[in-house]
Amino acid sequence: MRKIIPYGKQHITETDIDAVIEVLKGDFLTQGPKIEEFEKAFNNYIGSSYSIAVTNGTAALHLCAMALYVQPGDKVIVPPLSFSATANCIRYCGGDVVFSDIDPETLLLDIKLVRNLLSSSPEGTFKGIIPVDFGGRPIQMDEFRELADEFGLWIIEDACHAPGAFYRDRTGKRQNSGNGAFADLAIFSFHPVKHIACGEGGMITTNNRELYERILKLRTHGITRDPSLFKNSILEAGGDASDSNYPGWYMEMQELGYNYRLTDFQAALGKSQLERANEGILRRLEIASKYNEAFINNKNIEIIFNKAQSEFRNAHHLYIIQLKNRLGLYNFLRENDIFAQIHYFPIHLMPYYKNLGYKLGDMPFAEEYYSKCISLPIYPSLTEEEQLYVIDKINSFVND
């Protein structure tokens, strides 16, 4: 029986296991010191001022929408090519998702189409934009910042696919995906197939102190223990009016928040994984380069998305090819124990969003891409032998 080759897979080392065991033997399973250690290490890796560890990428998106005060009826621009959580976070707050199509060359939100949408709408129609670093390819956030400022919008950068990716801004300066230089908030995911695996987990990054403090509170039920932020008087808190200090046990729930905290053993695993994140990126780039060499001259396969360029680094969460008989290849690979995947069915065509008024034909570039896309195995522990097997099977199918 052949070994199954998935499209993505976590890579757990003995060092990772030891880090988790250390926490399990310690005093804290949650709300302990490993959370802050992980957050600080992530700040250093991404280059942001603040990081907030949370339960998963979806929770991170939801907290960002709450922190930016998304209200019922607020309209937010989202690409149709992403995991559905990118759009759902706006719906959680009662806001309205407005999809804008992708650039078929980059598969990223097309800034020209976003500008057309904003320019053709009454002033104040939209509140924000959620660009996505799809597949690991970083979006040009400085350009979106200029556009957002022109129309008075906030930005949440969905960088779940792109820790370790970077691009050059208009001044030529390197900007890491999710570093907070241009987005108000950015989010990451630590699902097992992502670059950094915690089982589940997520991170929010920002350079805005006010947003950071608000999210910290929303992450833990809307509760604060910081006396400088208390709103009740000492008497209401059960203290002595002659005493300037609140009781040591006192806390306040100041607004409706959630329990979106990460555990300490997940944070320990994440921090351990983060320590070899650059090694993982380099391995992904090697795998992508080998795929490029194998397919670049094959007229039956499109690899536009994957071509290496000097002005940015694709973190290669995904390696995507496009071809006409996508379904045939998908089934053929499964028959040969290669579990490729499709990323993604366009969000606007999901039944929930179709019920809100979207239909086939609304996002032609995303729909055309979806009809031909397939994600091939790419993860650091993929062996050379396994990759050559994948390449051989794909070539045998498309050249038959």
Give the integer Cα–Cα distance in Å for 152 and 68: 13
DSSP string, 256-311: ---B-PPBHHHHHHHHHHHTTHHHHHHHHHHHHHHHHHHHTT-TT-B-GGG--BTT
Give the integer Cα–Cα distance in Å for 205 and 53: 9
Give the integer Cα–Cα distance in Å for 161 and 194: 7
What are the φ and ψ backbone dihedral angles of 380, each rounded to 5 degrees? -55, -30
Catalytic annotation, pick one of 9, 34, 127, 194: 194
Give the integer Cα–Cα distance in Å for 113 and 102: 8
Amino acid at 338: I
Beta bridge partners of 102: 109
List helix spans (H) across the chain: 14-24, 33-46, 57-67, 85-92, 111-119, 141-151, 209-219, 264-274, 277-295, 326-335, 351-354, 364-372, 384-398
Q: Is 194 a catalytic residue?
A: yes
Beta bridge partners of 77: 98, 129
The set of catalytic residues is 194
